[in-house]
Structure 1
Amino acid sequence: MTDQQVRDLLKSSPRTAHRLVFNEYYSYVYTIVFNRLRSCASREDIDECVSDVFSDVFIKYNSRSAYSGDIKGFIAFIAKRRSIDMFRRLCSKKADTLSIDGSEAMQFSSDERVDELAERAETGHALIDAVKSLGEPDSTIIMQKYYYGRNSADIADIVGMKPAAVRKRISRAMDKLKKILTDIGEGR
């Protein structure tokens, strides 16, 4: 079927022209769409894209359209554009989600129990609160020593003390911290 025959048929019987164009170019459009979407789309997505291509073709290519070129080139252009758009949309969706039915979900399983993780997090928060309750400069000294792993000379520079005074403060702060944590443990 030539382009002029399609245009003439669109004037006299649009439904028949649409049916003939669909039958003539369905495999062509499907091949273009399938080749673009096969890596990320389901069969339904591919069928939907093919339908969208023909919908665009029938809306934009009519007897009064300004397009005077080859209908096959016009269909190919729309098929490529539509499949690229759907590819981008599907890939962005897949990046945001993970199916729990697939084998990928098994990779995220863990031997750790949620209740143990929650208990450790709660203990960590209680410890931080206890260290903060020591007040300054003891809380800073303890955090620098045990959280950041700094030595007494480095901590002395930070808090403006002598290294010997920092070591004495660490010893006293640890005794206070032990008492605070013992009281918290007995309160549970």
Structure 2
Amino acid sequence: MTDEKLRTLLKNNPDKAHRIIFDEYYNYVFTIIFNRLRSSASMEDIDECVSDAFSDIFMKYDPNSGYSGDIKGFIAAVARRRSIDKFRRLNAGHADTVSLDGDEMIQISSSERVDEDAEKAETAHAVLDAVKSLGEPDSTIIMEKYYYGKSSSEIADSVEMKADAVRQRLSRAIKKLRSLLADIYEGR
């Protein structure tokens, strides 16, 4: 169904149009959200995010607004934004930044764990500095593999290497990183 026909149907029979949009774009929305949340969310969270995305699509898309852009682009933007919001909510306790939107509660650690939190932060900074000292492309490969949860083939695309070369570089980089971290912690 073309975008123009879908806009007309949305004006005349919104329920039928919503059903068609859901049927036609469910897999597309699910794929966008799954790819963003697969390393940090349960399937239940992903399904909930997909439902929220369709809710936003149905409530916010106005065929009378004069927007003549691609409906698929609108749907993709909503799915991406929803998945990013969900990711941030799921990882709120692990972030170094705080949202100033006022919609989310901010949790402050109790004073009993200040020393543990400081030690974890110091360790995280030491690891990050060690990863950065490996240089490119090793630091990028490690970050994409262990922070973003990407596969070797996905990393290969972003660093313009073959997947086998990425795996080999990753193996060597991990050995270098172990050595660097051992030196850091022996010096303490």
Give the TM-score of the pair, scaled to structure 1.
0.48
Give the TM-score of the pair, scaled to structure 2.
0.48
Q: Which has the larger radius of gyration?
A: 1
